[in-house]
Structure 1
Amino acid sequence: MFTGIITDIGEILAVKDEGTARHLTVACAYPADTIPLGASICHMGVCLTVTSLKEGSNHTVITVDASAETLARTTIGSWEEGRKVNLERALRIGDELGGHIVTGHVDGVAEIIGRDDKDGTASLVFRAPRELAKFIAEKGSVGLDGTSLTVNGVKDDTFTVTLIPHTLAVTTWGEAKVGDRVNLEVDMMARYSARLAEAKAEGY
């Protein structure tokens, strides 16, 4: 589990396709002695397992693997060497829940279709996959590239969020532009509420 509060911006050092999977080498600022093998770290909203790590001169290098299912549902298939990625360590008991509960299980990919910068903030408009749009509600929470954000408005399959200067500075959102594809995780409560309603309508 995660909170959607980004704690580091990592960099992809190497990408290697191995059959239907993808092997990623990532540099991060987390101390190596605080990351056990098998730890879960959220990369742009995707929960990935640390398979190896080593301490460098000014950063830690970890490796993670993405399966065929993960590649099909996320943007990882387009990641290249040099890409910056939002990172978050797994939530621990007693940690502050500053965002909302994020599982790191991406539901699909949304596209930025508008951006308006004003007074240091950025208002972004996204188009969600139609099958996921029903889970996105005004003033509800949404996970975008691992960041917990509040939905300002919804219209059909599009929705808007506003990013404050701090978020733009400490995440990859400062460089986001129209046409970019982003990992989308809908709110867990919305997903289960919708499923319960469907089950009731089906007589379960």
Structure 2
Amino acid sequence: MFTGIIETLGRVTNLKYELENLHITVESSFTNELKIDQSVAHNGVCLTVVNIDGKHYTVTAIKETLDKTNIRNLQVAAIVNLERAMKLGDRLDGHIVQGHVDQTAECINIKETQGSWLYTFKYDSSLNNITIEKGSVTVNGVSLTVVNSKRNEFSVAIIPYTHEHTNFKAFKIGSVVNLEFDVIGKYVSRLNALNS
């Protein structure tokens, strides 16, 4: 379980395929605090630590994860948003994030305003995921509030702190991001589909 509040950025230092799995080695500022079998969200994707070597740790993404997320697009030197699982009893500063990405989306517009940025993302609505105005959505692991919700697109407003401390600053038109929709909204959507 995560909150969508990014702790730090990591840098991909090695990528190695083994059959259909991808082993991803990351350098991060909190590697010395990790342990084998711990969960860490990478751009919002929950992955398990399988090896630790100095400042570097390795996680493994299976085919299911590669098929449904932007992890498949990672390259050496890529910067990823990192968050460790929340501790029981901590404040929940973002919203409840499972680290189970629902689908990807494409950045279709970036508008810099006076003091913030408005990013717009388009996604495949045939998967029955939804956003609502002022609801929560996770983009590359970042807990955000939805504005301009439409059937297959939405926008989020990014404050300077988030822009500086996440990989949002690297987004361009056409960037592919991971989306995790609000878990309560997913249950409501599923129940409506079953009752239709």
Provide TM-score, normalisation by structure 2. Answer: 0.96
In the alignment, is the contact (CA less than 8 A) between 2:129 and 2:186 conserved in 1?
no
2:28 paired residue number:
28
Following superposition of structure 1 onto structure 2, how do residues 1-204 of structure 1 map, counting pairs within 5 Å? 1-32=1-32, 34-55=33-54, 60-132=55-127, 134-201=129-196
Shift of 1:155: 2.3
Q: Matched residues in 2 for 1:26 and 1:133: separation?
A: 33
Q: Matched residues in 2 for 1:31 and 1:125: separation?
A: 33
Q: Matched residues in 1 for 2:134 and 2:123: separation?
A: 16
In the alignment, is the contact (CA less than 8 A) between 2:3 and 2:143 conserved in 1?
yes
Gaps of 5+ in 2: none
Larger Rg, first or second structure (1 or 2): 1
Shift of 1:13: 0.1
In the alignment, is the contact (CA less than 8 A) between 2:31 and 2:52 conserved in 1?
no
In the alignment, is the contact (CA less than 8 A) between 2:31 and 2:57 conserved in 1?
no
Q: Secondary structure at the match of 1:93?
A: coil
Q: For 1:2-48, what per-residue CA distance to the aligned partner results, in whole angstroms no more than 9, with x for missing partners?
A: 0000001000000011111101100000051x212100000001000
Q: Secondary structure at the match of 1:189?
A: helix
When the two chains are superposed, the root-mean-square deviation of aligned CA atoms in Å is 1.2
Shift of 1:184: 0.6
Q: Matched residues in 2 for 1:42 and 1:189: separation?
A: 20
Gaps of 5+ in 1: none
Letter in 2 for 1:108: Q
Shift of 1:199: 2.7
Q: Matched residues in 1 for 2:156 and 2:128: separation?
A: 14
In the alignment, is the contact (CA less than 8 A) between 2:40 and 2:85 conserved in 1?
yes
- % same residue: 40
Provide TM-score, normalisation by structure 1. Answer: 0.93
Equivalenced residue count is 196
